[in-house]
Structure 1
């Protein structure tokens, strides 16, 4: 696959991931959060594994790696998706989408802590700018945080758990093929979510509610296209383009989250969202080292190409 085609796929994937925030917001109005996410992610995980089975790409996984996958699934699937679903019950898709834009930066911060990556002045500035952006998004009309939505805090929890899972995945990726790892994590995590749902959520909240047919289509599309195929494409792009180049596209996802919230949910965009979005994206670019990557590509292209084997 050519780089240009892969760039286009990544662009459209960011559109889908951005719109998926609105999809989850719709789904939590009809389903209990743990049950909905468990069902949605189980469909996604089985889709990935069926595709890999058809491609004859499934490999045997050791018991040690399965334990690692269970831990990563609990943090990255259960933690992230449950926090996101619960958060969207009491905050807007606009706020959620913009806060989720912190995931690359949060991952970079954790990499500094656990993987001994160096904290530079540029990264420090990026972290500070991103925090300003979040403050602008969640503050009230008077510029204070006294009306901070619990939903915003849950979404922020989803950011942290997702970032932690990326650190775990980075360690597991040395022993397990990325697409198979994704499918297995989704299945493991979805089963955990369904178990949680069985003990914490009442089935009457599903059976007594009349669910329109389009909601089921949203559930299936979100599962198969956004979560299942989406993560396969993203992992393939990381393998072909490198993690740094691929991560830059993530910065488009919050923008399309906002667009989706306006188109599908009728939410209003305020000046604080625009300014906050600008601060977050600038902070993510600085904090994750994207500026440094562009500088290297400009001034030291031969050395970089040699280093990454292109």
Structure 2
């Protein structure tokens, strides 16, 4: 195997593992840090660091972001990182990380549906089948055998997935800074500020006891900032530029599997028959979309600095926050 192939696959595996781990990172971080303040801190720090690195070369002179580009980046950050990752973080106060990751895995399905509605194109029967499968999978996660799940938190994560998908579709046609990492940085900075403001409005400051923040929560936050939002995003960018689209798109269904495994082995989360069955149904729906069997070209969620969706993403899915429309665009995290 050539050196470039080794580096490409190393980058992709990095995305698989790190973005898959961001769900556990969020779960641990919100144990002692309120979700919106945690997510806001995560994205603001990651965005400022990334901008400091890339701006000197890619955001100066003729490449300086214009007002319309900045405005679009703020909208993308609000949809994908505030609505997507922010609500995911809130949902993970009451859901196991692996279960949340399986719900977020439906993002590619919602992206194709939203894109079809926006472009007013015919919705293929296979897409309808994928939607039915994905919805059924979520239903099994909530009420399947052995399932004792907070239904309200599930709704929050489903809404987060929809907002992430909406932001991803919007980013495809929105005017964004030319360099994807500049766009990602602006999206994360904007989202960080918005999340912190929302956290204050929700009264999270009164819930925050700095002296009671655990070492585990700080470790989770640190992992999300550096590994989830910066390292994994950079790895995604490299893999996305050197590997076929359908290969890179595998992160959409590998991430939830990694999340479930880490949740059980490291987070001590229980896994019941509902997770096995519901997860298998959801991954099947995602595979149907990602492999391009919906009548159109293969689709996949934007990848973000934050991680995968919510991705939180990193992300940013899924785990980053970035420009990202489709796999060909770089994304966000």
TM-score, length-normalised on structure 2?
0.79
d(CA) in 2 for partners of 1:117 and 1:8? 37
Aligned to 2:93: 89
Aligned to 1:302: none
Determine whether 1:255 maps to 2:257. Answer: yes
Q: CA deviation at 1:283?
A: 0.9
Q: CA deviation at 1:278?
A: 1.5
Rate the CA distance shift 1:65–1:100 in 2: closer, same or farther, 3 A. same
* Higher CA-based Rg: 1
Deviations 1:162-216 (A, max 9, x none): 1011012212367532221111101111011111222222434323542233432
Gaps of 5+ in 2: 299-327, 329-333
Aligned to 1:303: none
Aligned to 1:136: 140
Residues paired across the two proteins, number: 293
Give 1:277's match in structure 2, choosing from 269, 276, 279.
279
Instruction: Give 4+ residue runs of structure 1 displaced > 6 Å after superposition.
Output: none
Determine whether 1:199 maps to 2:201. Answer: yes
d(CA) in 2 for partners of 1:109 and 1:235? 25
Q: Contact conserved, 1:48 with 1:229, CA < 8 A, in 2?
A: no
Which residues in structure 2 correspond to 1:36-185 (within 5 Å)? 36-53=38-55, 56-58=57-59, 59-141=63-145, 149-172=151-174, 176-185=178-187
d(CA) in 2 for partners of 1:104 and 1:196? 27
Gaps of 5+ in 1: 297-307
Deviations 1:88-121 (A, max 9, x none): 1112212101101111111111111113454223
Q: Over aligned residues, Cα RMSD in angstroms?
A: 2.7
Rate the CA distance shift 1:235–1:169 in 2: closer, same or farther, 3 A. farther
Deviations 1:127-148 (A, max 9, x none): 22222211111115488x9x75
Rate the CA distance shift 1:175–1:28 in 2: closer, same or farther, 3 A. closer
d(CA) in 1 for partners of 2:146 and 2:230? 41
Q: Secondary structure at the match of 1:290?
A: coil
Q: Contact conserved, 2:145 with 2:272, CA < 8 A, in 1?
A: no
Deviations 1:26-64 (A, max 9, x none): 11111111111100111221222133146x233311111
Q: Contact conserved, 1:123 with 1:288, CA < 8 A, in 2?
A: no
d(CA) in 1 for partners of 2:53 and 2:247? 26
TM-score, length-normalised on structure 1?
0.85
Q: CA deviation at 1:264?
A: 2.2
Q: Contact conserved, 2:28 with 2:216, CA < 8 A, in 1?
A: no
Rate the CA distance shift 1:174–1:87 in 2: closer, same or farther, 3 A. closer
d(CA) in 1 for partners of 2:84 and 2:139? 21
d(CA) in 2 for partners of 1:219 and 1:285? 31
Q: Contact conserved, 2:124 with 2:294, CA < 8 A, in 1?
A: no
Rate the CA distance shift 1:172–1:240 in 2: closer, same or farther, 3 A. farther
d(CA) in 2 for partners of 1:8 and 1:233? 8
- Range that drifts further, 78-87 or 227-236: 227-236
Rate the CA distance shift 1:173–1:16 in 2: closer, same or farther, 3 A. farther
Higher relative CO (Cα under 8 Å, sequence separation at least 6) belongs to 1
- Range that drifts further, 197-206 or 127-136: 197-206
